[in-house]
Structure 1
Amino acid sequence: MTAAPEAREMVAIAALAAAEKGATDIVALDVSDTLVITDAFFIASADNERQVNSIIEEIEDKLRESGHKALRREGTREGRWALLDYGDLVVHVQHDDERDFYGLERLWKDCPAMEIEGIEAPSRDRANEVDPDLAGSGE
């Protein structure tokens, strides 16, 4: 099974909106074979809390314009890790520090990355990065 066409459409809209606001390391993962509650994860990074919220607002605006409304919205007050739940798509916009620490790509590394037209793949593979704090700790 692969992500539904509607989820793929939402990923494309979210990615272009995030890129427009300066998001970095934009990635989408097809989690449809692993999770029953959603088809795709969209993940992007920002340098600071204000930018996290700016990216989230732009994604929400663009998705709303195309007829999609978030079912739930979390973390926007803190601006460190904001989440938008659209059912078929879950959007994660994280401050760079949270992204490096929590490593969503490492947790979901068995899920295939989705190609996003018009968005260049990240220059580094976060799924294979090793947390320096855990390296050599036997974990």
Structure 2
Amino acid sequence: MNQTLLEIVYKALDDKRAEDIVVLNMENISLLADYFLICNGNSDRQAQAIAREVQEKAQENGYEVKRIEGFDSARWILVDLGDIVVHIFHKDERAFYNLERLWGDAPQLDLPTVE
């Protein structure tokens, strides 16, 4: 099965037990990316493990990781995959930034857990 980058990233988040995964369709809202994936981990180490998994799975499937920001502090890690931007928060920071509310006009996609 030829998975899209969106499916690959979602599965990577799920595999590392990322919590509260939200997928926002940003196509008509932001010039930055077509999709935002937002999730959180329960610790710095989990947030970093999630970011590493996203990077590894994207690269394994031939996708370029343009940049990763915030990895060392692990409070808000941003993984830029071009058309997709992944926001991985430490659970303590997620509610503070509340990107879902900030981008409240973006439709949420309901992706099933990928097996």
TM-score (normalizing by structure 1): 0.77
Aligned residues between the structures: 112
Partner of 1:98: 93
Indicate whether 1:24 and 2:16 are aligned.
Answer: no
Structure with the greater alpha carbon radius of gyration = 1
Describe how 1:78-97 pairs up with structure 2 within 5 A: 78-97=73-92
Residue 11 of structure 1 contacts residue 28 of structure 1 at CA under 8 Å; is this kept in 2? no
Partner of 1:15: 10
Rounded Cα–Cα distance in structure 2 between residues aligned with 1:21 and 1:105? 21
Deviation at 1:53, TM superposition (A): 0.2
Percent identity over paired residues: 38
Partner of 1:70: 65
Higher strand proportion (structure 1 or 2):
2
Give the counterpart letter for 1:80 in structure 2.
R
What is the root-mean-square deviation in Å for CA atoms of aligned residues? 1.4
Indicate whether 1:55 and 2:42 are aligned.
Answer: no
Residue 73 of structure 1 contacts residue 83 of structure 1 at CA under 8 Å; is this kept in 2? yes
SS in 1 for 2:4: helix
Partner of 1:134: none
Please list every run of at least 4 consecutive aligned residues from structure 1 whose deviation after the TM superposition is greater than 2 angstroms. none
Q: Which runs of 5+ in 1 are unaligned?
A: 1-7, 120-139
Residue 69 of structure 1 contacts residue 86 of structure 1 at CA under 8 Å; is this kept in 2? yes
Residue 11 of structure 1 contacts residue 116 of structure 1 at CA under 8 Å; is this kept in 2? no
Give the counterpart letter for 1:36 in structure 2.
L
